[in-house]
Amino acid sequence: MFYFENFYGKKILKSSLLQDKDCFFTTREFVLTPSNRTDLADECEKNRSFLKEKLHSNYITTAKQVHGDNIEIIESNKTFYDNTDAMISNIPNTLLLMNFADCVPIILYDKESKSGAIAHAGWRGTAAKIAYKTVQKMQKELNIKPDSIIALIGPSIGKCCFETGEEVFEQLIEDKQNKELYEEKNEKYFIDLKKINYNQLKEAGVEKIDTCTYCTCCMSDIFFSYRKEKGITARHSAVIKI
């Protein structure tokens, strides 16, 4: 179950599955990445310092997200990754951060090995199975058992608002009989990206998954929405401290 919490005066979204862990999704009230909202750059810089201070971290590890499926395992001294849409780490105190405005944010954590990950799954990343591949990489390279991973599928554009044409539909929906993944209205498709990612995580062997029901486009008063704000928008973030 997801719930809003007060992080030293700033609104964040947490899941009861990882209640005691330093991991959450930020909101408009706690913006960390301005993107093309350059008017928010100063606020973001202040908020990043605030985040580091409150989580006792000296640095933030982040990436240039490109809607691909490159997945990096974090090295201790590197804090920025180019061309990367998922980051995995088992290095204590690493603070991972990725950015979103409608795309599906996925946080993974394994309590046993104390390893975590964040994946960025827009429709392209979802079609490239980044959620599935991230779990596989955790398993193959860090010996993490998928069934001990807890997954949080955070706020993203919902089926209510993610209207697409034929081309995107064809890349996302392999089984057209599976009507729980989409709705068809007037030759347009409304696709449930969160459900597709949920299925990928299940297929990879993850059992404990919490899916946030919030649609960022419907709730653009709380989250940033690329679609609702026609591309002129900042980003909310997924954050986890390993």
Compute the distance between CA of residue 33 and CA of residue 199 in angstroms, rounded to an integer: 29
Choose one: 2-10, 40-48, 104-112, 153-161; the region binding Zn ion (CB under 5 A). 153-161
207: left (phi over 0), alpha (psi -120 to 50) or beta: alpha
Q: Is 160 in the site for Zn ion (CB under 5 A)?
A: yes
Q: Is 215 in the site for Zn ion (CB under 5 A)?
A: yes
Q: In terms of CB distance, is 34 or 122 closer to Zn ion?
A: 122
Of 136, 192, 187, 140, the closest CA to residue 166 belongs to 187
Contact between 11 and 25 (Cβ < 8 Å): no
As to burial, measured by CB atoms within 10 angstroms (0-12 exposed, 13-18 middle, 19+ buried), residue 198 is buried
Residue 218 Cβ, how far from Zn ion at the closest point, in Å?
Answer: 3
Considering only 55, 142, 161, 168, the residue that binds Zn ion (CB under 5 A) is 161
Residue 236 Cβ, how far from Zn ion at the closest point, in Å?
Answer: 15
Contacts with Zn ion by CB under 5 A: the residue count is: 6
Q: Is 181 in the site for Zn ion (CB under 5 A)?
A: no
Measured between alpha carbons, how far is residue 202 from residues 13, 160, 205, 215, 239 in Å? 23, 23, 5, 22, 22
Considering only 17, 41, 55, 218, the residue that binds Zn ion (CB under 5 A) is 218
Compute the distance between CA of residue 13 and CA of residue 182 in angstroms, rounded to an integer: 26
Q: In terms of CB distance, is 61 or 126 closer to Zn ion?
A: 126
Residue 123 Cβ, how far from Zn ion at the closest point, in Å?
Answer: 15
Residue 57 Cβ, how far from Zn ion at the closest point, in Å?
Answer: 34
Residues linked to residue 182 through DSSP beta bridges, in sequence order: 191
Compute the distance between CA of residue 159 and CA of residue 182 in angstroms, rounded to an integer: 7
Q: In terms of CB distance, is 1 or 160 closer to Zn ion?
A: 160
Choose one: 34-42, 50-58, 144-152, 154-162; the region binding Zn ion (CB under 5 A). 154-162
The residues of the shown chain that bind Zn ion, judged by CB under 5 A, are: 158, 160-161, 215, 217-218
